[in-house]
Structure 1
Amino acid sequence: MCGKRIDHAEWRLTKSIVDIERLRAVAAKHNVKIPDDEEDYYRHLLNGLDATAQQVADLPEYEDPRLQIEPETLPRQWFKQKPNPLNGWSHRAEIKLPSPKDKRLDNRTVAFKDNVSIGGVPLTGGTTPEILTGKSEYPVPKIDAVVVKRVLEAAGTVSGSANCEHLSMSPLSFTSFTGPIHNPWARGYTTGGSSSGCAALVGINQVKEWRKRHGLPPIDEELGEGVDMAIGGDQGGSIRLPSAYAGIYGMKPTHGLVPYSGILSLFPMIDHTGPMTTNLEDLATLLGVVAGYDGIDPRCTPETPLREKVPDYSAQLASFKQTKQAAGEWTTSAAGKGLRIGVITESLAVPNLSPEIFKVIQEAISQFESIGASVSHISIPEHLLGPSIWTIATRAGIASLGMRNMPPPLLCYPCPDITPPALSQSSFDILDRHNPASANMVFNATLLQERPDGASLAAKAMMHVHELRAAYDRALTEVDVLITPVITRMHSQHPSLDAKVEDKMKPAIGSTLNTCQFNVTGHPALSMPAGWGKAEDGDAKMPVAMQIIGKRFDEESVIKAAAAWEVGGLGLDKWDGR
């Protein structure tokens, strides 16, 4: 016990805050009966803790100067976007730094998933203020997340926050408390989650450019205003899935490459934040802006490069092209020369993989072959176990840490003013209607914790994360990158809020079977448009994506492989009409 030492006589005179009944109630939670003659001293020990806790409770929150708002950007104002046809926007703003450090994002607009702290702009987490904080109003952060600060320092314009799924816990886009986020290619269809608003807003610009390129009339009023780029979050596929559904580019970087400081966590081991853009060049640029050690985030490791050592991914991409061009190889038959591409066999055998998606991925593999790349099919049996390992390793922690904003047992800077209360009947009723997956997360964690082997199961799953990582690492000694599908089912229409839980959950089941593995192993993974397929219900043709995975901290190879593939034809240009 820390603090002033109180001798045996003195503690008897100390005013009691914890009485004997409270002590007995605490002990009963552990099925313990304290001997009668020892109760008084145990009560005293609890009183000492209570006094120590109150001392910390009375302290003001500490605002880390590394996350404080740049005074030059004050005052900050926000507004609600009207109209907001796709429901992509949460809160609008226009924040710039008058004297940025460089001009890499000059004249570029950037939105942030609504779990990222933008100083002076309300943060919702896709849920209600009562569920997020136990209060009636949303918190207004007093800090900028590191990714926000870095965008501003690179002359980017922070255009506001993008709606996200309820507590970032849905691979589809109908669970946000503000209502469904619509797909920019076809209203009423999912945009994927949980970075759904980010995908919709970047997708707006993608659709506008695509229609212009294909000689189609503009539909600007149906789409609303979009952004050039966005920063999303990914714990199981939440950057890659919505990027795939919206026909844009989205990367989950290597775990620890981009600091997560100032962003609502679900579970540190799988927390990732990264770029979502309309093209590969922008993605490389934005990644270079936000990457690098920040001195705060415990997700960063000794492998995380210091800021001055972050690779210039954009320059690497340009150099790769120039070298190929000089060799006469930047052609539809030779752009992939020298690249070794591995297709994970098991990724094409996950349950219920849509034939539409299977067809597009097979065509994408053929395109790698046509541009001169060496393609091999590699069996990684552990890939099919990955989702189970991901689930058991993280489920209890998400409920106890992420859903309560409890800090992990590592030094970090938790998001201030976020104090989600425990699940109650009132919060369950909201979740049951909007996002049953969040309520199910709590039930899952409770069930696991009540199993006699609950703790050892999580530990065993953690051990197998190392096995899973090693399996991919071995494969990546034989090839430069690995290929899988991203989504497993084609786009579905939004279910009604009044639909049964089964009807809300069923379309999401299996969505992360090819993505969540790389959240626990930490490998970089890119979602990029590869072609088109017919929606799961209805007649709409919608984008289909492939996933490119690289060695940890080797984003360069992922970007190079994607660029070479596109010489054979952009995925969105493989359009054969409706």
Structure 2
Amino acid sequence: MSVVFLSTGPPTVNVEKLRSVAKSYGVVVDAHEEEHYRHLLNGLDATSAVIDALPAYTDPRLLPDPSTLPRTYERLAGDADKNPLNSWSHQTTITAPKALSSKLDGKKVVVKDNVSIAGVPLTGGTFPELLTGKNEYPIPQIDAVVVKRVLESGGTIKGSANCEHFSMSPLSFTSASGPVHNAWLQGYTTGGSSSGCGAVVAATQVRAWRKKYGLPLNDSELGEGVEMAIGGDQGGSIRIPAAYAGIYGMKPTHGLIPYTGIISLLPLIDHTGPMTATLEDNALLLSVLAGYDGMDPRCTPETPLRQNVPDYLSLLDTWKAEREATSQWTPDSAGKGLRVAVIKEGLGVLGLSEEVKKIMESAAAQFKAIGADVQEVAIPMHVLGPAIWTVVSRPCIVSHGLENRVTPMLQYAMPDVTPPVFDQKAYEILNKHNPAVVNMFFNGAFMNEKPDANVALAKAMGHVQQLRDAYDGVLKDFDVLLTPVNPRVGSKHPEHTMEVDGKMEPAIGATLNTCQFNVTGHPALSMPAGWGKAPDGTGMLPVGMQLVAKRFDEMSIFKAAAAWEVAGKGLDKWNGQLN
């Protein structure tokens, strides 16, 4: 292999720098060889300077449609009057005058505040100095692919929704702008890290539900809502807030929806997907967002081209119509032919409350009642899933996520996100607002300092495939798998002044039924299954169930969910009491 340097200029690298570089490896270079290696380093430095001098290049496919410009916005984060749930980060109104289709006509969509909207500040749920090392948030020059696809389909981008600090909390009290409240009960978690997405869609859900039951509207407690949101999920961050918020949240198959233009945590586990007030809207939005974009390395040969993406809602409607034509779309026959596997280990995870377990048993019984074949199956590796997810993610999540270092694959690299070095000042801020991020830095250093760090990572990666095979083995005989989402009914926000353990304890166990499917890539939907009593209070809060299918088989999930709801939707299992 030959190396060509573009330098003929004066030397910029001295011997001291060479020695420093060698010392980082514990190497001492022989004195008579130092000049040779110094010369090579100097050539590299000069070559690097050539690239440094070039202007940044932005892929024109990501530039905003000129017809949608100029854009204005209002920051609502922390504004208790306009934003009582603290669900909104920035509010705007962006439409495309000449959309390519009318699929989303009349639909309002928000995106998690780690998704780029050209001209609108991006926060990542943290403080600007931790995201860029400056006092101001970056303002992207590009629209993320999911944003472009919403606009091209006739939808309106209404802004960004608050998210948890660096997307690292399954609960909703760590955002830099303060806690995000549950739309059903103020002061309680709405789940994270796509917390604002959950709350802003739930505001729409609550209004419709209260109207249905003839209850007084509580608009002043909710703020503005939307029908649809686009969340992010690395360990459960779409499904968990969807469960606590009583809405529908789909973590699609890994690589089905491009992640281009979204702040990453780790490509292996990065997912983005729809969070909606209805199942039908979830199917609709998924068909708009899905399909290869030619830029995201998370996409694979299995990812469909845009023109080959299924029209999930149309297919669902056709399937329903076929059953209605044969008088099967009834509460006792809608599920005939469906095969549902209840994962035994999912009902035994650490911290799962008896109340949530009973709701899951009732959900399984409802599948039986509609004529589905329901069986409890053992998947022993399900219990190991969280450990596999942890060991696979910890060594690299700091570098690729919290430091935004570019992976060695062609991609859009989010150049405006330039976190500074983790130091004492960063520690003190993060320790106060979200100790989970501090823990992640410590975890990464601890794992990478092990002499056998790469061996452990390689072994864990092998077990990812084994875990995928375990689920696929069961899915040969079943259409969907069933587990709980949230292990407990939503908790109260902890006091901001609590010590680390007080802030971390409520989140323990939250991802034990969700993170497995981030590493295996299977699609998983959270949907309302019933109600539970709020702890430390007299209110009621939604509880979610999770349906999982084969990779790229989101259609089976939509069918099973729709059939289940023929016998009664989860939010309709209300006992007549809110307090």
* TM-score in terms of structure 2 length: 0.97
Distance 1:23 1:393 in 2: 34
| Deviation at residue 15 of structure 1 after TM alignment | 2.9
Note if contact 2:6-2:46 (Cα within 8 Å) is conserved in structure 1.
no
Distance 1:188 1:40 in 2: 66
Structure 1 stretch displaced more, 362-371 or 79-88:
79-88
| Deviation at residue 16 of structure 1 after TM alignment | 2.9
- 1:151-193: CA deviations, max 9, x gaps? 0001000000000000001100000000000000001101110
Note if contact 1:476-1:550 (Cα within 8 Å) is conserved in structure 2.
yes
* Corresponding position: 1:375 with 2:370: no
Residue in 1 that maps onto 2:66: 71
Residue in 2 that maps onto 1:18: 13
Letter in 2 for 1:116: V
Residue in 1 that maps onto 2:470: 471
Within-5 A mapping of 1:186-197: 186-197=185-196
Within-5 A mapping of 1:378-397: 378-397=377-396
Note if contact 1:151-1:290 (Cα within 8 Å) is conserved in structure 2.
yes
Letter in 2 for 1:135: K
Distance 2:55 2:397 in 1: 27
Note if contact 1:317-1:560 (Cα within 8 Å) is conserved in structure 2.
yes
Residue in 2 that maps onto 1:229: 228
Letter in 2 for 1:228: E
DSSP 3-state at the match of 2:275? strand
What's the RMSD between the two structures over aligned residues? 1.1
Distance 1:444 1:540 in 2: 37
* Corresponding position: 1:518 with 2:517: yes
Residue in 1 that maps onto 2:121: 122
Picking from 17, 27, 33, the partner of 2:28 is: 33
Structure 1 stretch displaced more, 354-363 or 48-57:
48-57
Within-5 A mapping of 1:165-564: 165-564=164-563
Letter in 1 for 2:395: A
Distance 1:539 1:407 in 2: 48
| Deviation at residue 58 of structure 1 after TM alignment | 1.6
- 1:517-552: CA deviations, max 9, x gaps? 000000000000000011233222110010000000
DSSP 3-state at the match of 1:27? helix
Note if contact 2:87-2:196 (Cα within 8 Å) is conserved in structure 1.
yes
Distance 2:434 2:48 in 1: 35
Note if contact 1:141-1:416 (Cα within 8 Å) is conserved in structure 2.
no
Letter in 1 for 2:30: P
Letter in 2 for 1:310: V
Distance 1:423 1:321 in 2: 54
- 1:450-473: CA deviations, max 9, x gaps? 111111111111110000000000
| Deviation at residue 19 of structure 1 after TM alignment | 1.7
The structure-2 alpha-carbon separation of the partners of 1:496 and 1:326, relative to structure 1 and needing over 3 Å to count, comes to same
Structure 1 stretch displaced more, 36-45 or 127-136:
36-45
- 1:303-354: CA deviations, max 9, x gaps? 0110000000000110111011011011000000010000010000111101
| Deviation at residue 39 of structure 1 after TM alignment | 1.4
| Unaligned ranges ≥5, structure 1 | none
Distance 1:57 1:5 in 2: 13
* Corresponding position: 1:59 with 2:54: yes
Distance 1:117 1:66 in 2: 14
Residue in 2 that maps onto 1:101: 100
Distance 1:5 1:319 in 2: 62
| Deviation at residue 5 of structure 1 after TM alignment | 6.7
Distance 1:465 1:4 in 2: 41
Note if contact 2:292-2:305 (Cα within 8 Å) is conserved in structure 1.
yes
| Deviation at residue 4 of structure 1 after TM alignment | 4.4
Letter in 2 for 1:245: Y
Distance 1:286 1:40 in 2: 61
Note if contact 1:203-1:248 (Cα within 8 Å) is conserved in structure 2.
yes
| Deviation at residue 21 of structure 1 after TM alignment | 1.7
Structure 1 stretch displaced more, 521-530 or 354-363:
354-363
Distance 1:353 1:205 in 2: 29
Note if contact 2:5-2:47 (Cα within 8 Å) is conserved in structure 1.
no
Residue in 2 that maps onto 1:46: 41
| Deviation at residue 302 of structure 1 after TM alignment | 0.6
Letter in 1 for 2:19: R
Distance 2:512 2:21 in 1: 42
Note if contact 1:491-1:537 (Cα within 8 Å) is conserved in structure 2.
no
| Deviation at residue 33 of structure 1 after TM alignment | 1.1
| Deviation at residue 3 of structure 1 after TM alignment | 4.0
* TM-score in terms of structure 1 length: 0.98
**Between Structure 1 and Structure 2, how many residues are aligned?**
572
Letter in 1 for 2:195: S
| Deviation at residue 80 of structure 1 after TM alignment | 2.1
Note if contact 1:173-1:191 (Cα within 8 Å) is conserved in structure 2.
yes
Structure 1 stretch displaced more, 513-522 or 77-86:
77-86
Distance 2:368 2:5 in 1: 73
DSSP 3-state at the match of 2:481? strand
| Deviation at residue 52 of structure 1 after TM alignment | 1.7
| Unaligned ranges ≥5, structure 2 | none
- 1:30-77: CA deviations, max 9, x gaps? 111111111122122221221122221221111101101000001011
DSSP 3-state at the match of 1:270? coil
Note if contact 1:104-1:155 (Cα within 8 Å) is conserved in structure 2.
yes
Distance 2:428 2:536 in 1: 29
| Deviation at residue 409 of structure 1 after TM alignment | 1.6
Residue in 2 that maps onto 1:152: 151
Structure 1 stretch displaced more, 524-533 or 416-425:
416-425
Note if contact 1:267-1:402 (Cα within 8 Å) is conserved in structure 2.
yes
Distance 1:531 1:47 in 2: 66
Distance 1:560 1:416 in 2: 41
Letter in 2 for 1:211: R
Distance 2:160 2:38 in 1: 48
Letter in 1 for 2:15: I
* Corresponding position: 1:90 with 2:85: no
Distance 2:55 2:90 in 1: 28
Distance 2:5 2:130 in 1: 38
| Deviation at residue 561 of structure 1 after TM alignment | 0.1
Distance 1:136 1:5 in 2: 37
Distance 1:185 1:443 in 2: 36
Letter in 2 for 1:317: L
Distance 1:4 1:310 in 2: 45
Residue in 1 that maps onto 2:75: 80
Note if contact 2:5-2:44 (Cα within 8 Å) is conserved in structure 1.
no
Distance 1:571 1:183 in 2: 17
Distance 2:428 2:538 in 1: 34
